[in-house]
Structure 1
Amino acid sequence: MLSFFVIALFIFFIGLLFIPLISAQIQIIATYDMDYLYEQIQNPVGKIEDFLIQYNVVQSEPGFLITQVRESLIASFSKINFQGIINTVVNTTSSLFIALMAVSFITFFLLLENGLLRRNIMNLIPNAYFELAVSTFNKVERLLSNYLVGLLIQLTCIFSLASLGLTLVGIEYALTIAMFAAVANLIPYAGPILGATFGVIVGLSTGEFDTSNDIILMIIKILGVFSVVQVTDNVVLQPLIFSKSVKAHPLEIFVVIFAGAKIAGILGMIFAIPVYTIFRVSFLEFFKGYREYRIFKF
């Protein structure tokens, strides 16, 4: 019960980080003003327009580009199906709630019946292969434990570095962006890009800018922080976690992750290393038993 409530409490506090951001976005949408958006983009679009006219790229009167942008924005927002968006949100929320309840139920009984799954599997193993199966289970559990502990350390380091860096450069909702980046980093290779993209979107939607240079400076700050985080992750954290924890060559990890992406998409990338570790250790142990102890008799 204690372990279960600690996990639930941890997830609850993570959710609290996103409530202020979601509330701010709802307020922005509720007070949305087309004229304000038009004023925000008028200056950068005007510079592009002056450049095109100056170098004779287009033959039009001044003001043509901003007029087209305004008309396109109005047309785009008039085509938005708000009823469809609401239905999608409701369906997604229902699916997430059902999945959360299922995971919570399964997690509780796995914690309550500690070792139940392992005992049931071991009961299916013939006596001739019992010792080999026990050795395989122990090695798989040890490697997966090392991998999960290392993954937790990686997420903690990424969250700490990203939150500290974003706070120092003055980005709002630094903790929320850092937490999203840390969780997104569970997706190998694509996770850092998702984290940086989320940071830029949050910065653009919540910041206040006087000129277009302020926008560019904000984007540079966010990308700079995530660049430092990514270099640290690639040089220090990933080699230590992925290679040493599961005793596999980095090239193996690279191929396995892309194979997982091909088979099952994002979920395949997340679970590729644990699944590969189970199969690799099992195969090596049984192959060792076949060569040294002749456990298979034909």
Structure 2
Amino acid sequence: MIKSHEKLLFPLVAIIIGSYFFFNGLVEAKAFLGPLVIAIILALLLIPLGNLLEKGTLNRSVSSLLSTILLFIVSLGVFALISLQIKSFVDDWDKITETMKPKVEQFTAYIYEHTPVSKEDFDKYREENDIGSMVTSMDSGKRAFNFFNSVMSFISNYLLTFIYIFFLLNYRSRFKKFILKLFSDEKKEEVKEIITETAHIGQYYLRGKLILISLLSVFYSIGLGVSGVDNFILISILAAFLTLIPFIGNIIGMGLAVIFGYLTQGETGILIGIVITFTIVQFIESYILEPYIVGDKVDIHPFFVILAIILGNMVWGVMGMILAIPVLGILNVVFNNVPAMKPFGYLLSTDSKQGDSQ
């Protein structure tokens, strides 16, 4: 006779092995699934615009094409602005390295004086791990090919994402009917409600995040510009976009501002301005902008937000960290509306909507 703990062992082992192969499959399928998942999330954002265009004389295909082209133009504008700022940064590189040189020397001197590390140890380590010689020893043709391959891969995925968006918008009714056909007539109304709520969650979250990023870009630009930071527009935009990565994004954004602001110019007043700017703006973001613009539509407990970010980074890197929250929010909607999955919905949700008294 099989004991109770032995009965539990087989499902547990199956779950562990299945999870291992599932996440390994996600890693291997990143090139295919990455653009598709991004397209699905962005298509949810564009559905209200497509519906608005269709209220006129436009049909579904034309409205989907116009919505996709509009998003494409906006993305090109963002890339152009960032490119101009990067060009300005590259043009000032000689000045930046000259300013940073004494800072680096002061830092290394402090390390030698206050730590067990000596100059001889550092020189020996640099000789044994001479990255510069490793890079220069690589075949230049191979390096050029790898760079060209990376650029072409990015461009192809970038364009492919917008092709996906068009087809997802144009055939969204077909996809919805397909999902409904998978369920019995008794379940169709419930499934319709889940699909509608899922779409609303994605739209509300993404629309709020875009508004939040725009406002943060303005606030950071004002603060860093007044502080005297060079290339403050680029730094502000990057810092605002990094807020898509919860918790970690703000820290990275401030780090970039310190590196490209204080370390490249060396003025203490700039460092103080950067700290004040990020402190005030992040306070405004956390206690004013985030609650009113984004709200609590993505009802996920902070503990599972952190876990999702870590797992997303392990699976798809930065892309996974950005997609983790909206994907987990959509899954949570499904969990909370499917009776068999409601315990998982309770576990993932905050106590504001799922009381402990249940």
Residue of structure 1 in register with 2:335 after alignment: 283
Question: Does 2:56 correspond to 1:4?
Answer: no
Residue of structure 2 in register with 1:45 after alignment: 105
Structure 1 residues 51 and 176: alpha-carbon distance in aligned structure 2, compared to 1, 3 A threshold = closer
Name the aligned partner's letter for residue 129 of structure 1. Answer: K
Structure 1 residues 87 and 228: alpha-carbon distance in aligned structure 2, compared to 1, 3 A threshold = farther
Structure 1 residues 2 and 200: alpha-carbon distance in aligned structure 2, compared to 1, 3 A threshold = same
Structure 1 residues 27 and 129: alpha-carbon distance in aligned structure 2, compared to 1, 3 A threshold = same
Question: Does 2:88 correspond to 1:24?
Answer: yes
Gaps of 5+ in 2: 1-64, 343-358
Residue of structure 2 in register with 1:138 after alignment: 196
Partner Cα separation in structure 2 for residue 244 and residue 269 of structure 1: 19
Partner Cα separation in structure 1 for residue 238 and residue 99 of structure 2: 31
Contact 1:200 1:222 in 2 (8 A): yes
Residue of structure 1 in register with 2:183 after alignment: 125
Gaps of 5+ in 1: 291-298
Partner Cα separation in structure 2 for residue 130 and residue 51 of structure 1: 67
Q: 5 Å matches for 1:4-153?
A: 4-27=68-91, 41-42=101-102, 45=105, 80-81=135-136, 83=140, 86-153=144-211
Structure 1 residues 235 and 254: alpha-carbon distance in aligned structure 2, compared to 1, 3 A threshold = farther
- TM-score, normalized by length of structure 1? 0.72
Q: Looking at CA atoms only, which structure, 1 or 2, has the larger radius of gyration?
A: 1
Deviates more, 1:90-99 or 1:281-290: 281-290
SS at match of 2:237: helix
Name the aligned partner's letter for residue 257 of structure 2. Answer: G
Deviates more, 1:228-237 or 1:172-181: 228-237
| Residue 188 (structure 1) shift | 1.1
Contact 1:185 1:191 in 2 (8 A): yes
Partner Cα separation in structure 2 for residue 58 and residue 12 of structure 1: 48
Q: Deviations over 1:218-271 (max 9, x none)?
A: 333333322322222223334456662224455554554455456554333322
Residue of structure 2 in register with 1:234 after alignment: 286
- TM-score, normalized by length of structure 2? 0.61
Structure 1 residues 114 and 161: alpha-carbon distance in aligned structure 2, compared to 1, 3 A threshold = same
Determine what percentage of the aligned residue pairs are the same residue.
22
Name the aligned partner's letter for residue 73 of structure 2. Answer: L
| Residue 91 (structure 1) shift | 2.7
Contact 1:132 1:289 in 2 (8 A): no
SS at match of 2:244: coil
Number of aligned residue pairs: 268
Residue of structure 2 in register with 1:192 after alignment: 250
Q: CA RMSD in A?
A: 4.0
Partner Cα separation in structure 1 for residue 149 and residue 340 of structure 2: 50
Question: Does 2:272 correspond to 1:220?
Answer: yes
Contact 2:225 2:232 in 1 (8 A): yes
Structure 1 residues 76 and 42: alpha-carbon distance in aligned structure 2, compared to 1, 3 A threshold = farther
Contact 1:150 1:245 in 2 (8 A): no
Residue of structure 2 in register with 1:157 after alignment: 215
Residue of structure 1 in register with 2:14 after alignment: none
Partner Cα separation in structure 1 for residue 74 and residue 102 of structure 2: 45
Structure 1 residues 196 and 88: alpha-carbon distance in aligned structure 2, compared to 1, 3 A threshold = farther
Partner Cα separation in structure 1 for residue 143 and residue 258 of structure 2: 23
